[in-house]
C-alpha cells in the first residue's frame, strides 16, 4: 500500500543526505585547505611555545637527574643535549614505539613532560576539525531536491496545495539546522517529512462509536448515509461497516436507497442476508428518501443502533442526481454523511469529494481499494483538501477488509 509514495519520500531522504554529505566533505576539505595554513602556523606557534616551555621543564628534570647518572651516561646525555630539541621531539614517536615493543621500559620524566605538551597541541587541533565539519543547512542545499519531491508528489496524485504545503513545511524545518554528522541530515529530513505529513493529516476526527452511544442514550439510532460516484464501493463498504459494528456489539439496519441501478437492491439484500441483518427496501425506482425514512422508523421502533443508508452512484457533474442526494439528506436527516471514494482514482476522487462536500457537507471519508493503491496521493490529500477526516480504508473484497484510518499509522506507512 502506498509504496510509490513511500519510495519517493525515502529517496528524498537519501538524496538530501548524499548531497549535504558531499558538500560538507568538499567544504570541509576547502576549509581544511584554507585553514590549513592558518592552523599550521597556529600549530607551529603553539608547538614552539610549548616546546620551549617543554625544554625548560626538561632542563629542570635533567638537572635533577644529572647527579644520579653514571659518568658514561652523563656524557651521552651531554652529547644528545647538543642535538636539536626538534629532532628529539620528532623522533619521540618512534622511540615511544620502540619502548612499547620492548614492553618493560618505563617512560622517563622527560618523555612525560614532552607527551603532556604534545597532547595539548593535539587537543587544540581536534577542536578545529569539529568546527570545520559542522554545517548549517541552507535553502540552496535543499531546494533542488525538494522541488524534485514536489514533482514526484504531483505525479503520485497528491493535490497541488498539499504538495506545496509539505515542501514548504520541510524547507522551514530544515533550513538553518546545524549538521554535525551525516546521519543528522537523514534524521532531520525524516523528522521534517513526518511533521509535514502529520500536519496534513491533522484534521478533526470523529469517533463513530462515541456518537452511536450518544444517540443510543436518547433512544435514537445513529444514521449514516453513504455517497459517491458509481462503482467506488459504497454498497460493499456498507456491508463491511455493518460487520465492523456487529463485531463491536451494535445492531445495524440497512436502507436500500439505491433504487436507481438495476440489481442494486438484490446486491445489498444479498449482503444483508449473508451478514444476518435487517434490510429495509422498496421496489426499484421508488423514492430513495422514503426508503431511508422507513429504515429510520424501523430502527427507532426496534431500538436498533445504526441505520446505514446506501445510495445510488452519481457523477458529481450530474445536477439532478446531486439535488436528489440533497433531498435524501433533508428527509432522512443523517447524523453523518460519508463520502466513499476509490483510492485508485487519485485526484479524481479528491475533485469528487470537493463537489459532494459542496452539495451535502460531508462528515468523513472512506477510501476503498487502498490495498491496490501504490500512489497514495488521494489518501494523503483528500482529508486536507476538504478538511474532513478519513475514517476507514477499504483493503479488499471481503467483509473484514476494512481498517480504521489513523494519521499516525499513515505517517508510519510513508516514512
Ligand atoms: N479490491 C477491492 N475492491 C473493492 C473494495 N471495495 C469495493 N470493491 C469492489 O468494487 C466493486 C464495486 O463495489 P460496489 O460496492 O458495488 O460499488 P458501489 O459504489 O456501490 O457501486 P454503484 O452502486 O454502482 O455506484 C465491487 O467489485 C467490489 O467488490 C476494496 O476495498 N478493495
Ligand atoms: Mg452500490
State the average pLDDT for the chain. Answer: 82
Q: How far is CA 344 from CA 200, 201, 208, 347, in A?
A: 20, 19, 25, 9
- Residue 153, in any domain of the structure: yes
Q: What would the grid cell of residue 146 be?
A: 525538494
Q: Please tell me whether residues 12 and 32 are part of one structural domain.
A: no
Q: Please tell me whether residues 100 and 140 are part of one structural domain.
A: no
What are 29-38's pLDDT values in tens digits? 455 444 444 4
Q: Please tell me whether residues 286 and 368 are part of one structural domain.
A: yes
- State in Å: Cα 257 to ligand 2 middle: 9
Residue 272: HSE in the Cβ half-sphere, 13 Å Cα cutoff: 21
Q: Please tell me whether residues 117 and 174 are part of one structural domain.
A: no
- State in Å: Cα 342 to ligand 1 middle: 9
Q: Please tell me whether residues 294 and 322 are part of one structural domain.
A: yes
Look at residue 81 and tell me whether its pLDDT is greater than 50.
Answer: no
Q: Which atom of ligand 1 is nearest to the CA of 267?
A: 16
Ligand index nearest the alpha carbon of residue 233: 1
Ligand 1: which residue has its CA nearest to atom 21? 231
3-state secondary structure of 337: strand
- State in Å: Cα 317 to ligand 2 middle: 18
Instruction: Give me the number of domains the chain comprises.
Output: 3
3-state secondary structure of 221: coil
Whether residue 239 contacts residue 399, with contact meaning beta carbons closer than 8 Å, is answered with yes
Q: What residues have their beta carbon closer than 5 A to ion ligand 2? A: 234-235
**Which of 103, 133, 163 lies at the terminal end of a domain, its last residue?**
133
Q: What is the CA radius of gyration of the chain?
A: 37
A 10 A CB-CB count for 179 gives 22
Q: Please tell me whether residues 352 and 274 are part of one structural domain.
A: yes
Q: Please tell me whether residues 278 and 387 are part of one structural domain.
A: yes
Domain at 328, CATH number: 3.40.50.300
Q: Which atom of ligand 1 is nearest to the CA of 394?
A: 31
- Residue 413, in any domain of the structure: no
What are 312-327's pLDDT values in tens digits? 999 999 999 999 999 9
Torsion angle in degrees (nearest 10) through CA of 49, 52, 55, 60 = -90
Instruction: Please report the pLDDT score of residue 331 as a whole number.
Output: 93
Instruction: Please report the pLDDT score of residue 281 as a whole number.
Output: 98
- Residue 214, in any domain of the structure: yes
Q: How many residues does the chain have?
A: 415
What are 100-129's pLDDT values in tens digits? 444 444 444 555 544 444 444 444 443 333
**Which of 133, 154, 184 lies at the terminal end of a domain, its last residue?**
133
- State in Å: Cα 368 to ligand 1 middle: 8
Q: Please tell me whether residues 171 and 286 are part of one structural domain.
A: no
Q: Please tell me whether residues 129 and 214 are part of one structural domain.
A: no
Q: What is the DSSP string of 54-94?
A: HHHHHHHHHHHHHTTS-HHHHHHHHHHHHS-HHHHHHHHHH
Q: What is the pTM of this model?
A: 0.77
- Residue 415, in any domain of the structure: no
Q: Please tell me whether residues 156 and 112 are part of one structural domain.
A: no
Instruction: Please report the pLDDT score of residue 85 as a whole number.
Output: 30
Ligand index nearest the alpha carbon of residue 262: 1
Residue 202 and residue 200: Cα distance in Å, rounded? Answer: 6
Q: Which atom of ligand 1 is nearest to the CA of 240?
A: 6
- State in Å: Cα 397 to ligand 1 middle: 8
User: Where does ligand 1 bind, in terms of residues with CB under 6 Å?
Assistant: 228, 230-236, 258, 261, 264, 313, 368-369, 371-372, 394-397, 401
What are 169-203's pLDDT values in tens digits? 999 999 999 988 878 899 999 999 999 999 999 99
Q: Which atom of ligand 1 is nearest to the CA of 238?
A: 15
- State in Å: Cα 259 to ligand 1 middle: 17
Domain at 8, CATH number: 1.20.120.140
Look at residue 164 and tell me whether its pLDDT is greater than 80.
Answer: yes
- Residue 220, in any domain of the structure: yes
393 torsion bin: left (phi>0), alpha (psi -120 to 50), beta (else): beta
Look at residue 335 and tell me whether its pLDDT is greater than 60.
Answer: yes
- Residue 412, in any domain of the structure: no
Residue 129 and residue 69: Cα distance in Å, rounded? Answer: 44
Q: Which atom of ligand 1 is nearest to the CA of 310?
A: 20
- Residue 332, in any domain of the structure: yes
- State in Å: Cα 231 to ligand 2 middle: 7
Q: How far is CA 276 from CA 48, 235, 242, 251, in A?
A: 94, 16, 10, 10
47 torsion bin: left (phi>0), alpha (psi -120 to 50), beta (else): alpha
- Residue 107, in any domain of the structure: yes
Whether residue 303 contacts residue 252, with contact meaning beta carbons closer than 8 Å, is answered with no
Q: Please tell me whether residues 232 and 294 are part of one structural domain.
A: yes
Q: Which atom of ligand 1 is nearest to the CA of 396?
A: 32
Look at residue 378 and tell me whether its pLDDT is greater than 60.
Answer: yes
The β-bridge relationship of strands 178-179 and 135-136 is antiparallel
- The per-residue b/e assignment along 327-362, b for 16 or more CB within 10 angstroms, e otherwise, is ebbeebebbbbbbbbbbbbbbebbbbbbbbbebbeb
Which of 368, 393, 394, 400 to mutate for ligand 1's pocket (most ligand atoms within 8 Å of CB)?
Answer: 368
Instruction: Please report the pLDDT score of residue 28 as a whole number.
Output: 60
What are 277-331's pLDDT values in tens digits? 999 999 999 999 999 999 999 999 999 999 999 999 999 999 999 999 999 999 9
Ligand 1: which residue has its CA nearest to atom 13? 233
Q: What is the DSSP string of 111-177?
A: HHHHHHHHHHHHHHHHHHHHHHH-EE--HHHHHHHHHHHHHHHHHTT--HHHHHHHHHHHHHHHTT-
| Nearest by Cα to 265 from 310, 203, 215 | 310
Average pLDDT over residues 334-360: 97
Cα 344 → chain centroid: 22
Residue 220 and residue 213: Cα distance in Å, rounded? Answer: 10
Whether residue 165 contacts residue 141, with contact meaning beta carbons closer than 8 Å, is answered with no
A 10 A CB-CB count for 252 gives 26
Instruction: Please report the pLDDT score of residue 388 as a whole number.
Output: 98
Instruction: Please report the pLDDT score of residue 313 as a whole number.
Output: 97
Look at residue 68 and tell me whether its pLDDT is greater than 50.
Answer: no
**Which of 161, 179, 201 lies at the terminal end of a domain, its last residue?**
201
Can you list the pairs that 279-286 forms with residues at least 24 positions away whose Cβ atoms lie under 8 Å? 279/253, 279/254, 279/255, 280/253, 280/254, 280/255, 280/256, 281/256, 282/256, 283/259, 284/259, 284/260, 285/259, 285/260, 286/259
What are 214-245's pLDDT values in tens digits? 999 999 999 999 999 999 999 999 999 999 99
Whether residue 115 contacts residue 107, with contact meaning beta carbons closer than 8 Å, is answered with yes
Q: Please tell me whether residues 172 and 265 are part of one structural domain.
A: no
Q: Which atom of ligand 1 is nearest to the CA of 402?
A: 31
The widest CA-to-CA distance across the chain, in whole angstroms, is 126
Average pLDDT over residues 49-58: 49
What are 141-155's pLDDT values in tens digits? 999 999 999 999 999
- State in Å: Cα 320 to ligand 2 middle: 18
Range of the domain at 373: 208-406
Amino acid at each position: 500500500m502506498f509504496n510509490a509514495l513511500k519510495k519517493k519520500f525515502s529517496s528524498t531522504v537519501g538524496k538530501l543526505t548524499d548531497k549535504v554529505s558531499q558538500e560538507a566533505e568538499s567544504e570541509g576539505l576547502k576549509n581544511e585547505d584554507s585553514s590549513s595554513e592558518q592552523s599550521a602556523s597556529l600549530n607551529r606557534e603553539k608547538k614552539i611555545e610549548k616546546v620551549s616551555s617543554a625544554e625548560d621543564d626538561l632542563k629542570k628534570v635533567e638537572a635533577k637527574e644529572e647527579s644520579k647518572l653514571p659518568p658514561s651516561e652523563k656524557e651521552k646525555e651531554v652529547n644528545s643535549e647538543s642535538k636539536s630539541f626538534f629532532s628529539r621531539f620528532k623522533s619521540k614517536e618512534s622511540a615511544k614505539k620502540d619502548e612499547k615493543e620492548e614492553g618493560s621500559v618505563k617512560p622517563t620524566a622527560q618523555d612525560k613532560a614532552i607527551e603532556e605538551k604534545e597532547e595539548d597541541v593535539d587537543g587544540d587541533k581536534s577542536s578545529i576539525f569539529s568546527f570545520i565539519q559542522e554545517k548549517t543547512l541552507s535553502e540552496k542545499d535543499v531546494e533542488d531536491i525538494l522541488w524534485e519531491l514536489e514533482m514526484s508528489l504531483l505525479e503520485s496524485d497528491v493535490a497541488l496545495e498539499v504538495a506545496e504545503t509539505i515542501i514548504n513545511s520541510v524547507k522551514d524545518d530544515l533550513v538553518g539546522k546545524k549538521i554535525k554528522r551525516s546521519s543528522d541530515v537523514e534524521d532531520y529530513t525524516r523528522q521534517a517529512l513526518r511533521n509535514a505529513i502529520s500536519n496534513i493529516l491533522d484534521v478533526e476526527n470523529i469517533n463513530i462509536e462515541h456518537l452511536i452511544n450518544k444517540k443510543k442514550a436518547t433512544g435514537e439510532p445513529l444514521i449514516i448515509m453513504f455517497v459517491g460516484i458509481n462503482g467506488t464501493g459504497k454498497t460493499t463498504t456498507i456491508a463491511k461497516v455493518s460487520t465492523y459494528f456487529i463485531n463491536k456489539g451494535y445492531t445495524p439496519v440497512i436502507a436500500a436507497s439505491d433504487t436507481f441501478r438495476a440489481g442494486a437492491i438484490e446486491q445489498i439484500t444479498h449482503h444483508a442476508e449473508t451478514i444476518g441483518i435487517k434490510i429495509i427496501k422498496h421496489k426499484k425506482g421508488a423514492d430513495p428518501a422514503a426508503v431511508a425514512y422507513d429504515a429510520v422508523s424501523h430502527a427507532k421502533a426496534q431500538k436498533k443502533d445504526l441505520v446505514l443508508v446506501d445510495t445510488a452512484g452519481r457523477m458529481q457533474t450530474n445536477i439532478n442526481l446531486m439535488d436528489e442526494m440533497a433531498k435524501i439528506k433533508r428527509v432522512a436527516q443523517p447524523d453523518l454523511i460519508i463520502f466513499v471514494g476509490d483510492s485508485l482514482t487519485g485526484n479524481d476522487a479528491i475533485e469528487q469529494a470537493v463537489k459532494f462536500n459542496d452539495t451535502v457537507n460531508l462528515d468523513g471519508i472512506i477510501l476503498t481499494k487502498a490495498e491496490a493503491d501504490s500512489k497514495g496521493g488521494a489518501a494523503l490529500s483528500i482529508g486536507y483538501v476538504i478538511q474532513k477526516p478519513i475514517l476507514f480504508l477499504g483493503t479488499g473484497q471481503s467483509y473484514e477488509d476494512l481498517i480504521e484510518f489513523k494519521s499516525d499509522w499513515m505517517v508510519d506507512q510513508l516514512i
